[in-house]
Amino acid sequence: MVKKLRRKFVLTAMLSLLLILIGIIGVINVVNFIQVQAGADDTLNILADNDGMFPDMGDFLKKNGEMKEPEEGNPLNTDVGPEEFKDPFFNNRMLYNRSIELPFQSRYFWVKLTETGKVTEINTGHIAAVSSSDAADFAKHLFFNNMDNHRGYIDNQYRYLVKKNEDGSYLMIFMDCSAGFYNASRLFIMTLIIGFIALAAMFILVYLFSGKAVEPVVESLEKQKRFITDAGHELKTPLAVISANMDVIELEAGSSEWTKSTKNQIKRMDGLVKNLLALSRMEEENIHLAFSDINISKIADESTVYFRAVSDFKKIEYTCDIEENIHINGDKNSFGQLFTLLIDNAMKYTENGGKVHVKLSSDEALRTAVFEVTNTCEKVPEGNLDRLFDRFYRGDTSRSRETGGYGIGLSVARAIATSHGGTIEAETENDKTIRFKVKVPMIKMQ
């Protein structure tokens, strides 16, 4: 139980951190890509406004009021622009240098076409990777296939802008974004590596400190187990005394309605205490079970025989389908108890004249043994059927009182299945049929 709780804590913490890292890495890289694209679009706009050429950037900046040149004799002055154009993160000198060097850093080419798509002029003087024929091919491809979008990408690395002139001709400008995309890809890889390292480091820290985190819960569970064990042992003595006293009363005064009722309640209380102690022991991680190669087909067959009389008394249609020679590595007594609990539960909640079907089969593909108990009932409990395995939960409290159930048998069954590395679940076919299915690893089948 403690190990399971610790694993859940570590898993929850790691999933939370993973989601946070995915969000951070995603935002960083998406913003970086947007910045690369926005920078390319700004440059394309400047080129489109100036017929494919860069203007004098110093004059351009002063004309647009973005920045003025550094004062003569003070080239390192950071306050080189008007107050209203100061950037909160970068000084104006840095921005001025970046802008003035833009024509020398940009790799681009452009093509002019007539309104019918005939190439009239090509300029590839600012790029080395594209020839004039390549530029013409790009332009013709856009003109005849993708003129609906005046912005976009071609060949996965060239950002383009199509400008239609007043005379009907076109100016197509292509900006090489490969350097930006290369740096963006490197940043993506680096953030992934950093994220992986952070995740691994966090896993180590969470695992080391998980013991401290779950310590209050573990302490509470230990106190609960200790209380159940102590209370169970303390209750055994008064129950034995009361039972002995009732026997004496019956010997001296004879049996009566009151003595029978008292003895029934003693028997019920004794069964509840035994089940609580069994469940407490099952849930302890250091429980000693005698695991060996056991034939659960034989155990299941023996368990089904015990309920023939009950089925005859309630006129239940009781059928069994037990596959032979299914072997698992488990505790013989525990599996006898598991089968008995599930069949007994079915018999209790099946109405007179109903049906109970017991089946044991093997799944060779998954190497598992499957034990199923299906029964009809007046009404299947509503909601999540997993609650049936909770301690003291009863789908129908009135029926539980009539049948004498403790509300703990299915909890014991789940503890047995879990201690053998298996699972147990409840499912329904309709509102009057319920099936309990146990799956455990199979080691041998003949």
Residue-wise pLDDT tens digits, 45-99: 999 988 888 876 545 545 555 544 445 444 444 444 444 445 555 556 666 666 7
Same domain for 298 and 408:
yes
Q: CA angle at residue 161 from 157 to 166, to 5 degrees?
A: 160
For residues 269 and 296, state if they share a domain.
no
pLDDT digits (tens, 9 = 90+) for 116-154: 999 999 999 999 999 999 999 999 999 988 777 889 999
| Predicted local confidence at residue 86, as pLDDT | 53
Chain Cα centroid distance, residue 310 = 45
- Residue 177's beta-bridge partner residues? none
- State yes or no: pLDDT of 299 exceeds 50: yes
Alpha carbon distance 426, 437 (integer Å) = 6
Residue 109 has pLDDT above 70, yes or no: yes
Rounded percentage of the chain residues whose pLDDT exceeds 70: 80
Q: Which residue in the block uniquely carries the two structure tokens 């005379």?
A: 167
Judged on CB neighbours under 10 Å (0-12, 13-18, 19+), 19 is exposed
Residue 395 within any structural domain of the chain: yes
Distance CA 11, CA 203 (A): 9
- Domain final residue, candidates 78, 105, 132: 105
**Is residue 355 domain-resident?**
yes
Q: Do the Cβ atoms of 347 and 314 come closer than 8 Å?
A: yes
Give the per-residue pLDDT at 127.
93
Is 398 inside any structural domain? yes
Considering the domain architecture, whether residues 261 and 379 belong to the same structural domain is answered as no
Is residue 401, in this structure, part of any structural domain at all? yes
Domain identity same for 274 and 306: no
Specify the higher pLDDT residue, 61 or 197: 197
Domain annotation covers residue 47? no
> Are 394 and 439 members of one domain?
yes
Quote the percentage of the chain above a pLDDT of 90: 37
Tell me the pLDDT band of 274, cut-offs 50, 70 and 90: confident
Give the count of domains, the chain: 3
Average pLDDT of the segment spanning 342-355:
90
More confident residue, 79 or 377: 377
- Average of pLDDT values for 289-312? 87
pLDDT digits (tens, 9 = 90+) for 236-271: 778 888 888 888 888 888 888 888 888 878 877 777
Residue 273 pLDDT grade (very low, low, confident, very high; cuts 50, 70, 90): confident
Lowest mean pLDDT among 36-45, 193-202, 275-284, 394-403: 394-403
Last residue of a domain, one of 105, 120, 138: 105
First to last CA, the chain: 35
- The per-residue pLDDT of the chain, averaged, comes to 81
Clarify whether residues 232 and 348 are in a common domain.
no
3-state secondary structure the chain: CHHHHHHHHHHHHHHHHHHHHHHHHHHHHHHHHHHHHHHHHHHHHHHHHCCCCCCCHHHHHHHCCCCCCCCCCCCCCCCCCCHHHCCCCCCHHHHHHHHHCHHHHCCEEEEEECCCCCEEEEEEEECCCCCHHHHHHHHHHHHHHCCCCCEEEECCCEEEEEEECCCCCEEEEEEECHHHHHHHHHHHHHHHHHHHHHHHHHHHHHHHHHHHHCHHHHHHHHHHHHHHHHHHHHHHHHHHHHHHHHHHHHHHHCCCHHHHHHHHHHHHHHHHHHHHHHHHHHCCCCCCCCCEEEEHHHHHHHHHHCCHHHHHHCCCEEEEEECCCEEEEECHHHHHHHHHHHHHHHHHHCCCCCEEEEEEEEECCCCEEEEEEEEECCCCCCCCHHHHHCCCCCCCHHHHHHHCCCCCHHHHHHHHHHHCCCEEEEEEEECCEEEEEEEEECCEEC
pLDDT digits (tens, 9 = 90+) for 156-181: 899 999 999 988 999 999 999 999 99
Structure tokens at 37: 């694209």
Query: Do the domain assignments include residue 37?
Result: no
Which pLDDT does position 445 carry in this prediction? 47
Q: Residue 373 in contact with residue 356, Cβ under 8 Å? A: yes
Residue 271: give its domain's CATH number: 1.10.287.130
Q: What is the pLDDT of residue 76?
A: 42
CB contact at 8 A, 146 and 215 = no
Q: What is the pLDDT of residue 85?
A: 44
How far is residue 264's CA from residue 190's CA, in Å, rounded to a whole number?
Answer: 73
pLDDT at 230 over 50: yes
Task: Please give the average per-residue pLDDT across 373-377, as a whole number.
Answer: 91
Please tell me whether residues 301 and 413 are part of one structural domain. Answer: yes
Q: Are residues 328 and 232 in the same domain?
A: no
- Please say which residue of 282, 305, 323 terminates a domain: 282
d(CA 394, CA 401): 10
> Is 344 domain-assigned?
yes
CATH number (domain holding residue 429): 3.30.565.10
Greater confidence, 407 or 112? 112
Does the residue 166 lie in any domain? Answer: no
- Same structural domain, 253 and 323: no
> Could you tell me if 267 and 410 lie in one domain?
no
Domain range enclosing 356: 292-445
Higher pLDDT, 345 or 78: 345
- Per-residue model confidence (pLDDT) at position 192: 94
Do 275 and 285 touch, CB atoms closer than 8 A? no
pTM: 0.54
Q: 436 and 353: one domain?
A: yes
Tens-digit pLDDT profile for residues 410-436: 888 888 888 888 999 988 877 788 999
Residue 217: band (very low, low, confident or very high) from pLDDT cuts 50, 70, 90: confident
Q: Indicate whether 274 and 297 sit together in one domain.
A: no
Mean of the pLDDT values across residues 26-55? Answer: 91
